[in-house]
A and B are shown apart, each in its own frame.
Chain A
């Protein structure tokens, strides 16, 4: 990407950003990529509206949503765990939405995020320059030092740098470390990066993140891409912790209702002596804490520790007369 202009869309009466594209990228792949990106409907990803083509058909510029809020880079680190998770959650959402559309951003870093006039964080600047050119002999790797995982420096059998979603997950982890610690460990900028050490451990940060969150973030910056979690799981875990104690579950057994939430955390259900089940809410999830006799959740036997899915049917007992519990959970959403 090179020149950037803020323009007025005279048809739809809105401010837009027009970014001219560097040449050298295969036009067909670029258009495919832009078409896919324009389909992403995410609150936390800048919307790509359109492309501009020359008469020859070559795409020369991208038209996207204009953001007029503050930068994310250069802000003081969040003061506590809640503020830290509130900062990371929208970033995780945006990347997760991109991955859900089968795309890789390729250039996640603090400088590629900004807020709009309602303070909503949005990710922009897809690493379009990193789209490799099929058939080309040598491929140049454009990369952002510190935010690029070790595997990005390797080439595959046909000499290409391969970008998977795990690249974005690493970049997210490095971004999180930078935003929370105020700096990245020096080794991160080596080629390839030198990882590990206490500076790169989220458990040592002053925000004192909950252990499962710190462990998940540590896994994001794992050297092996197979050890990194899926972005969807990172988003989900952050969301659950931001919604701590705000969930409810509703159980109906033989016409009788029980509600579990932060004010009433556990319940025990039984149908005669044939099946007994106890469930408890730990602020994050509803889990089985006791089971005896014949108990099936969605027709599968369960063990202690089993987490109830968003909707399920629990059957107590066997044979023709059974206790049937229908379960549904509330869907609070993180609003920032």
Chain B
């Protein structure tokens, strides 16, 4: 035995301290091996989501969700929002009590387009016909937006320069080509606005005779504003005639008020709540109806970047501005002047690397971004977020679409009306060919009756941890309630991961399904781990969406085996050891050894004749004399008996 020739032995560094246990007549060695008690469950974790059930080995720890409306972005389950998930690409989660597949995505070609789509525009005729426009390179494209399938056609092509903006003002198109070096300052569409190749008339107007041409147009209050790099804003009520007023200067010293900076070119312009907002790499300006300019976004003055204000949209629901800066999306309320980040970049479940597009519809904001979902994805992906306001200032994010094998270059996102719903366009370039992705989003808050869904989606739950690395939980079973899992083509499969999402193992599936609400159960076989995450794979035939309503996973904590030992050891002269030899240590030495052990801060290794061996602490040493009746002997009638409390001091077995 490891403690030879003693019953128990302690070792500090290489020094052994052996002891013999008390063995009263007719009794066994006085050694009691128990377990360290279960900790006070109220104190075992400071996790806000932890309950006593998490750490009571007699009860299952439920890991359950009946709503997913806090959306994606939460890597760990217990600490934050019980309705949030880690990542759910292609799955809609904003509806309380259910998760289902997102609408499908289709792609439309852009004839002859080879570079990124630089902008979108939508126009509804007085007759109610809708036309959507986008521009890529020298071409302006147009499609009849009556459906999702009408192709994009080339409506206008400039001879050499890129189209920088297009808008319709007073039912007439205006095309900006800022790089045009000819006398054409911009182009008025005089015919074929909605069909065929546009007929244009080159404008040669006085304000632009210096050579700097309008880059962007924005119409508001019956007035068309033209932005001319780097700081001039002209306006007119009829762009077909040379009647421009201005400029409104956003440059310091060039007019009143002197607030702006002319270092950087304009990057964007929007109109919201009776204001014109212009943007450059370092700031954003508000131009009111009195042509007063105020610098409302000054936070980036010392941080100019091409990613600042690259994408701007107006949320129709509350007239807030939404814009990307760096890897975050911000909202700005013109009424209160409050600017706040959406929180997209501060998610534990994913990281935003680059904002590729921002858009807003009547109900939601949308963000196209390059993201990295660590562990789940091995590389960066491009995701289309649908963002919705939650309680307080929080935003929820659901991932309508994700490209996990990115070979394309995605850029620009637009949300245009589609009936009462919203149509999303986002551009891509693959191998020198540009195209437009399109997703039609119903106006229904709950879209499960829309009848058109993506073929698949995956919902990764947050990771439910055992909280302490030394703990494991044994996983028992999982059940989940579904609707729409009607057959083998419309099902939800449940997988699990015990390594933080690195690998996944199928557990069970709704299989052949049922037309009714279905409860599916899967039992784990010998699965124990420090954490678990679940993955629900939604598969649809396209017309029906499987809906996940509730799942409950049951696990039970397994505490590490930590021995707590009470030992009574002999303290006397000449004690006989297990091998018959007598201990040369005196009673005083044994007492001193016990004191050394009790007060040592070093690592103490405990071994005993039972085979136990582990680091320990000596928590208590008490003494009591014991009398041994020995006839005709007068010496050493008394011994000391020391009671030692020993507790294992490592992570246990």
The answer to whether A and B belong to the same complex is: no
Interface residues of B (CB under 8 A from A): none
